[in-house]
């Protein structure tokens, strides 16, 4: 019997992140079985109780570094994973941040002359500063003026909350809209199969329309997924 590879995530099946992970894996890692563990505590519990030594388990638990509860769960998870040779952890801040850091995000969701580029200039700048800072290894994003200007309630938000707010603000009213429960059709379908598209709904992919497989490859190479998959030796069909 051939060994199987599972990707365990913390979000429910109706959530945007589950829809994203299943789409991504179907396109670039079709042999990986995506399973929801409902929430982060249940995910940690599942790893702690894992007795299977034959199959491979990849774990995607949010690494929200300034959320104390998540930080403690990450420590427990790492201890459990270190005891098992077939468990591998992805070091990802959260699903929303992964899409935020995508290097083609702005050029995909907005056409070159899109009025949203001007109307959402503050959010675009906050996203640019956030990604640049975290990529540099400096996690003190709450000290950046453009981010403070964008989020007036920043002191009460952690990195996951900020990422969710920022991603939704950038993508809302587009085919790429992302909220906790919604992943826009433009993330999960070929261009252009957006059912609700209006005549004036023109994105940055209007001239160079991509198949879903090409979209997922671009996201893989344009985010930290490329680094993380390579680190755990996960083979990708690219």
Question: Can you give the pLDDT at residue 121?
Answer: 98
- pLDDT at position 177 over 80: yes
- 130-144, pLDDT tens digit by residue? 999 999 999 999 999
Best CA proximity match to 168, nearest among 160, 159, 177, 181:
177
Mean of pLDDT values over 88-103: 97
Question: Can you give the pLDDT at residue 200?
Answer: 83
The string of DSSP letters for 198-221 reads -TT---TTSSS---HHHHHHHHHH
Query: For residue 171, what pLDDT band results from cuts at 50, 70 and 90?
Result: very high
CB atoms within 10 A of CB 30: 9
CATH number for the domain running over 5-94+218-231: 3.40.50
CB atoms within 10 A of CB 62: 25
- pLDDT at position 1 over 70: no
List where CATH 3.40.50 sits in the chain: 5-94+218-231
Q: What is the pTM of this model?
A: 0.95
Q: Where are the alpha helices (H) located in 49-174, listed in sequence order?
A: 68-82, 95-100, 105-109, 116-119, 121-135, 145-150, 159-171
Q: Residues 181-184: contacts with CB within 8 Å, 24+ apart?
A: 181/14, 181/15, 181/16, 182/16, 183/16, 183/19, 183/20
Mean of pLDDT values over 184-192: 96
């Amino acid at each position: 019997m051939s060994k199987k590879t599972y990707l365990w995530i913390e979000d429910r099946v109706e959530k945007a992140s589950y829809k994203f992970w299943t789409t991504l894996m179907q396109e670039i890692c079709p042999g990986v079985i995506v399973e929801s563990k409902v929430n982060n505590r249940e995910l940690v519990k599942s790893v702690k109780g894992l007795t299977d030594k034959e199959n491979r388990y990849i774990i995607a638990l949010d690494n929200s570094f300034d959320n104390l509860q998540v930080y403690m769960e990450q420590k427990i998870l790492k201890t459990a994973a270190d005891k098992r040779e077939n468990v591998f952890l992805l070091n990802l801040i959260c699903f929303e941040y992964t899409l935020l850091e995508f290097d083609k995000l702005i050029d995909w969701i907005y056409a070159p002359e899109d009025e949203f580029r001007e109307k959402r200039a503050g959010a675009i700048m906050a996203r640019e500063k956030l990604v640049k800072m975290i990529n540099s290894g400096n996690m003190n994003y709450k000290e950046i003026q453009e981010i403070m200007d964008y989020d007036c309630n920043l002191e009460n938000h952690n990195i996951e909350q900020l990422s969710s707010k920022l991603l939704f603000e950038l993508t809302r009213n587009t085919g790429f809209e992302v909220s906790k429960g919604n992943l826009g059709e433009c993330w999960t379908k070929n261009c252009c199969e957006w059912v609700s598209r209006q005549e004036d709904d023109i994105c940055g992919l209007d001239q160079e329309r991509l198949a879903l497989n090409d979209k997922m490859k671009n996201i893989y190479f344009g985010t930290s997924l490329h680094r993380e998959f390579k680190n755990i030796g996960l083979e990708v069909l690219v």
